[in-house]
Structure 1
Amino acid sequence: MRITLERSNLLKSLNHVHRVVERRNTIPILSNVLLRSDGASLEMKATDLDLEITEATPAQVEQAGATTVPAHLLYDIVRKLPDGSEVRLATNAEGTAMTVASGRSKFSLQCLPQSDFPDLTAGTFSHSFRLKAPDLKMLIDRTQFAISTEETRYYLNGIFVHTVESNGDLKLRAVATDGHRLARADVEAPSGSEGMPGIIIPRKTVSELQKLLDSPDVVVTVEVSDAKIRLTIGSIVMTSKLIDGTFPDYQRVIPASNDKELRVDCQSFSQAVDRVSTISSERGRAVKLALADGQMTLTVNNPDSGSATEELPVGYESDPLEIGFNAKYLLDITGQLTGGEAVFLLADPGSPTLVRDLAAEDALYVLMPMRV
């Protein structure tokens, strides 16, 4: 293989694919990126056996071929080359080494044969649809923070995506929960998504996908089956296994009869929560909200270091109420709200609270209270 390409093109594509590769691998080939040159492009592929990303980038191909080299090492080399330079990649006759040359710099990397590189066989996909990148990014951004990190409840370690009938319209819905909070977001269901199986997209796939959805003009092609999902974003193709499990019936935890309405200014509220929680211990991080006519008092008590209170004018006209929440969870939710004002629908100190974003009716959040 002998090819020449722009350093900026190579770096951009490597940046997308090398992140999939785990730093520590018991299987040596999984530390490598597959490079395959053909026609007028270089195709790169990386995998961890659960997630695979491929991307093609323009190149001047003198001699077609394929090999695999250490992904993080190649990325670090290209990253440190000067801007605007050209990079020449060439393998030796035996295919055991590849030279990376640019200007006066020259590196030699050990190769492993491309025949050893695993292929995440996609199989057939039952449903295919197209979704604007900003819509898909919105679904991820508004729910990702609530994904559980508890390995024992593996079926909560991702975002549940499914179609649902809502007010006479078909919606594509994303839901994530860790048992303490729940986030739900909807977009209009695209043509082709009708009847698709409910799927759970793993946390790592969600995280990588979020980084690839940076162009607002791109339309993403989504293909799903019971076991896999494939997303095509421009020249990038991401294939991932899905979490094999049943997502719980999340509708049961969304309160329908919370009658105490609290309206707060998002920015003032999140800043106040942030300030008073400075004094809390990392373990507890509980903040107590005392609500009375038009007034909220936020209190944090830490037996080891002291206490903090702050008062805030709010829109609240129901019976006085005291309720506690995890400060980090409150900040996570208010961080997702796009409008200036948030609405909290409360019932009592022991029941889940519903949070709505006035600027985005297609999103809602549920937060479990804490004892304070």
Structure 2
Amino acid sequence: MQLSCLQENLNRGLSVVQRAVATRTTLPITQNVLIATDNSRLKLAATNLDIAISTWIGAQVEEEGTITIPARMLSEFVNSLPPERIDINSDEQAAGLDIKCARFQAHINGQDADDFPAIPSVTEGVIGRVTPDVLRDAINRVAFAAATEDSRPVLTGIKVEISGDTFTFAAADGFRLAVYEGKLAEPIADAESLEFIIPARALLEVNRLIGGQSDPVEFTVTQQKSQAMFKMDSVELVSQLIQGTFPNYKQLVPENYETRVVANQGAFLQATRTASIFARDGSGIVRINVTPDEDDESVGKILVSSRAEELGDNVGEVDAHVEGDEAKIAFNSKYLTDVLDVLGDGEVAMETTTPSSPGVIRPAADSEAYKYTHVVMPMFVQW
């Protein structure tokens, strides 16, 4: 293999695939990056067997070839080079890579590409497209609610439901539930409906890779629902799908409420973050008291408080519009902060029934572009 490319292009390409490189593995070659010439371009690929990321960069190819090189060593070396042309040579018999750039040169030992796990290519299945802004918004508002522990693998994933031109993302970790309903760029043509569970980590990587892309992101799901591929500008990500039954999340969303309060997102978030300081030493508990005004029931306030037994206590007041009776409920401070943080500017609504029932938090105003619902389980406290 013999080629040349720009340092900034190679550095960017390596940073793209780096996140798919295995860190702890019984298959050491998955800690390498695959380097291959492909139609006068340079292909870089990495896989940890759960996800695989491939990207292509421009290159002047003199001789075709392919090899795998330790990803960390190559990435750190290329990153340290000046922004000039890099000349790359590989001798198949020596199983290594010679790199020259300006006044720097290195030889890095590698392994035969035949030993590298095959990078999946999803060429057949159900194909859909979604605009980058919509996909990014959906991932940001849902992925954080997925479980991070593997005790129940399905909860580490995001349930995806597609029907016509509508898609739904749902994630839950046993203590909270996030549901986002949005629109595809166009209806899926190959099936009336589609359901699968994709690892939340895979979608977070897709979110990172979207960057400033303006064209719709294309995704393909195999007929067996075993893999999904996302195509972005010069980047492809293939993820294994999670097999199993996702909980019926629709049953977890309360249909009615006794109290509904609408407040400014920024003010509510600030009060919650302030309360979180004391909540750190108080089991993470934030208490919410909703009180309507005695003269005008539609006007009221939210008291956000927390206390640490040996350190002190805190209370913050937020103006609000109240519908219904006075209410009390306690939440984990992190869960409340997380959802308020992703709701963005504007007004948010919180709906409650009893102190021991789940609370629902959502944007106060309906949107034609999307629908978002977040359910948080309460914490049981002494009032």
Which of the five TM-score ranges fits, normalised by the shorter chain? over 0.9
Q: Shift of the alpha carbon at 1:242? A: 0.3
Structure 1 contact 122–228 (Cα < 8 Å) conserved: no
Q: In structure 2, what is the Cα distance between the partners aligned to 1:12 and 1:282?
A: 43
Distance 1:123 1:233, change over 3 A: closer
Q: In structure 2, what is the Cα distance between the partners aligned to 1:144 and 1:38?
A: 34
Which residue of the partner structure matches residue 88 of structure 1? 87
Determine if the alignment matches structure 1 residue 53 to structure 2 residue 49. no
Q: Shift of the alpha carbon at 1:305? A: 1.8
Which residue of the partner structure matches residue 160 of structure 2? 161
Structure 1 contact 33–69 (Cα < 8 Å) conserved: yes
Determine if the alignment matches structure 1 residue 250 to structure 2 residue 249. yes
Instruction: Say which is worse superposed, 248-257 or 211-220, in terms of deviation.
Output: 211-220
Q: In structure 2, what is the Cα distance between the partners aligned to 1:248 and 1:123?
A: 28
Q: Shift of the alpha carbon at 1:250? A: 0.3
Q: In structure 1, what is the Cα distance between the partners aligned to 2:271 and 2:284?
A: 14
Map 1:316-331 to 2 at 5 A. 316-331=322-337
The one-character-per-residue Cα deviations of 1:72-105 (angstroms, maximum 9, x if unpaired) are 11111111112x3111111135142211111111
Which residue of the partner structure matches residue 8 of structure 1? 8
Runs of 5+ unmatched residues, structure 1:
none
Which residue of the partner structure matches residue 110 of structure 1? 109
Structure 2 contact 165–187 (Cα < 8 Å) conserved: no
Q: Shift of the alpha carbon at 1:24? A: 3.2
Give the 3-state SS of the residue equivalent to 1:151 in structure 2.
Answer: coil
Which residue of the partner structure matches residue 173 of structure 2? 178
Which residue of the partner structure matches residue 367 of structure 1? 376
Q: Shift of the alpha carbon at 1:124? A: 6.0
Q: Shift of the alpha carbon at 1:120? A: 4.0
Which residue of the partner structure matches residue 287 of structure 1? 286
Could you tell me which amino acid in structure 1 is paired with residue 97 of structure 2? Answer: M
Structure 2 contact 259–327 (Cα < 8 Å) conserved: no
Q: Shift of the alpha carbon at 1:312? A: 2.2
Q: Shift of the alpha carbon at 1:23? A: 2.5
Determine if the alignment matches structure 1 residue 202 to structure 2 residue 210. no
Could you tell me which amino acid in structure 1 is paired with residue 132 of structure 2? Answer: A
Give the 3-state SS of the residue equivalent to 1:350 in structure 2.
Answer: coil
Q: In structure 1, what is the Cα distance between the partners aligned to 2:101 and 2:19?
A: 23
Q: In structure 2, what is the Cα distance between the partners aligned to 1:351 and 1:197?
A: 32
2:214 to 197, 213, 217: 217
Structure 1 contact 39–64 (Cα < 8 Å) conserved: no
Give the 3-state SS of the residue equivalent to 2:152 in structure 1.
Answer: helix
The one-character-per-residue Cα deviations of 1:92-124 (angstroms, maximum 9, x if unpaired) are 351422111111111111110011111144466
Which residue of the partner structure matches residue 338 of structure 1? 344
RMSD: 1.8
Displacement over 6 Å in runs of 4+: none
The one-character-per-residue Cα deviations of 1:40-63 (angstroms, maximum 9, x if unpaired) are 210111111111111111101111
Structure 1 contact 273–287 (Cα < 8 Å) conserved: yes
Runs of 5+ unmatched residues, structure 2:
293-299
State percent identity of aligned pairs. Answer: 28
Q: Shift of the alpha carbon at 1:339? A: 3.5
Map 1:255-334 to 2 at 5 A. 255-281=254-280, 284-293=283-292, 294-334=300-340
Q: Shift of the alpha carbon at 1:150? A: 2.6
Which residue of the partner structure matches residue 23 of structure 1? 23
Give the 3-state SS of the residue equivalent to 2:140 in structure 1.
Answer: helix
Could you tell me which amino acid in structure 2 is paired with residue 368 of structure 1? Answer: M
Instruction: Say which is worse superposed, 207-216 or 269-278, in terms of deviation.
Output: 207-216
Instruction: Say which is worse superposed, 302-311 or 247-256, in terms of deviation.
Output: 302-311
Which residue of the partner structure matches residue 182 of structure 2? 187
Structure 2 contact 260–351 (Cα < 8 Å) conserved: yes
TM-score for the superposition, normalised by structure 2: 0.91
Which residue of the partner structure matches residue 71 of structure 1? 71
Give the 3-state SS of the residue equivalent to 2:136 in structure 1.
Answer: helix
Distance 1:38 1:341, change over 3 A: closer
The one-character-per-residue Cα deviations of 1:189-233 (angstroms, maximum 9, x if unpaired) are 432264343111113212211101112412211100211101111
Could you tell me which amino acid in structure 1 is paired with residue 28 of structure 2? Answer: P
Could you tell me which amino acid in structure 2 is paired with residue 24 of structure 1? Answer: R
Distance 1:159 1:80, change over 3 A: same
Q: In structure 1, what is the Cα distance between the partners aligned to 2:263 and 2:157?
A: 30
Which residue of the partner structure matches residue 358 of structure 1? 364
Q: Shift of the alpha carbon at 1:317? A: 4.3
Structure 1 contact 38–61 (Cα < 8 Å) conserved: no
Q: In structure 2, what is the Cα distance between the partners aligned to 1:296 and 1:69?
A: 57
Q: In structure 1, what is the Cα distance between the partners aligned to 2:207 and 2:39?
A: 30
